[in-house]
Amino acid sequence: MLLLTISISGLSKSLDDIDATTFVREVTGRNPQRDEDVMIDHRSLRRHVKFSGREKDLAISFSS
């Protein structure tokens, strides 16, 4: 099992259309000082990857 260490605040900055401060507050129990790293299994994380691309007249999106 391959575990990845991810910072909650770092993760919040990579999410589109979500306020980073609100995300950190909700995940850390409304205490931003409690920003901790979390361990995530690489295999389970791959199930939630979405790829998308857009050009002038064409948009492509799929999930793995």
The pLDDT, as a whole number, for residue 35 is 59
Note the pLDDT tens digit of each residue in 5-25.
Answer: 888 888 888 877 888 888 888
Total tally of structural domains belonging to the chain: 1
The Cα–Cα gap between 32 and 43 comes to: 28
Calpha distance 39→41 (Å, rounded): 7
Structure tokens at 53: 């691309």
Domain of 18, in residue numbers: 3-63
What is the structure's pLDDT at 38?
A: 78
Does residue 31 have a pLDDT over 60?
yes
